[in-house]
């Protein structure tokens, strides 16, 4: 933990939070981050009986100035605009009017690697009745894989062909949480435990005035840091 660590944050050293298991991490987790992770997850599953969640890592190209604090905001705004456009296109093409809309919910953390290179870990949440998979991992398809690539390209102000190697979907990146199914609690707890990695104290940038954690503005969430 660096000397610039925010002393207003609370460090938990046991792998548990509010009755939920967290990852066992060397220097603990930040309680306020865990609180916000749970707040977003609870809000999404209350809004939608079926939730599609995606874990994705976003990296910067070499020689790119990663200190642009607005880049992650541009990413989310681009993705929101694409969801809206997709919904409107489906409305125009439907014959029965049954089209599901989806808001975008998210949690993100900005970290620094051993080469002093910044990157983002992100979890995206969608209405599972509107979206249920990333789709085929090929460009030029109308699927979530492409929407995420377009959003990161827009955030970096690059052509989509230049960001394909900058976006990484880790193993088992896709989750479907169905509130009325027997495995809901297990999947919810498993995802929360995985996202507790976002709350680790290490590899974050403290003391430079920029936020290193953020999430959707949901009821009850704490401020960003």
User: pTM (2 decimals)?
Assistant: 0.92
Domain ranges of the chain: 11-215
Instruction: Show the beta-strand stretches assigned E in the chain.
Output: 11-12, 16-17, 20-21, 29-30, 50-59, 105-112, 118-127, 167-168, 174-178, 213-215
* Virtual torsion, Cα 162, 175, 199, 60, nearest 10 deg: 0
pLDDT in tens, 6-41: 667 899 999 999 999 999 998 899 999 999 999 999
Separation between Cα atoms, residue 221 and residue 15, nearest integer Å: 21
Q: How far apart are CA 90 and CA 101, in angstroms?
A: 10
* Distance separating alpha carbons of residues 108 and 187, to the nearest angstrom: 20
- Record the tokens describing residue 33, joined without a space: 């981050």
- pLDDT < 70 regions, the chain: 1-7, 66-67, 114-116, 203-210, 220-225
Q: Note whether 133 and 114 are within 8 A (CB).
A: no
């Amino acid at each position: 933990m660096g000397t610039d660590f925010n002393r207003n944050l609370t460090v938990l050293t046991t792998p548990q939070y509010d009755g939920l298991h967290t990852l066992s991490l060397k220097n603990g987790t930040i309680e306020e981050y865990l609180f916000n992770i749970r707040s977003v997850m609870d809000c999404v599953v209350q809004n939608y009986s079926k939730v599609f969640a995606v874990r994705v890592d976003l990296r910067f190209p070499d020689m790119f100035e990663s200190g642009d604090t607005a880049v992650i905001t541009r990413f989310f705004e681009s993705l929101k605009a694409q969801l809206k456009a997709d919904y409107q296109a489906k409305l125009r093409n439907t014959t029965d009017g049954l089209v599901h809309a989806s808001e975008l919910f998210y949690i993100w953390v900005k970290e620094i690697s051993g080469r002093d290179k910044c990157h983002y870990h992100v979890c995206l949440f969608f209405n599972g009745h509107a979206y249920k998979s990333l789709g085929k991992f090929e460009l030029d398809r109308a699927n979530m894989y492409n929407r995420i690539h377009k959003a990161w390209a827009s955030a970096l102000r690059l052509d989509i062909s230049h960001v394909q190697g900058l976006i990484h979907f880790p193993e088992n990146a896709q989750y479907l949480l169905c509130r009325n199914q027997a495995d809901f609690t297990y999947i919810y707890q498993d995802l929360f435990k995985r996202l507790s990695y976002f709350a680790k104290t290490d590899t974050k940038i403290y003391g430079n005035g920029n936020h290193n954690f953020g999430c959707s503005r949901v009821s009850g969430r704490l401020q960003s840091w």
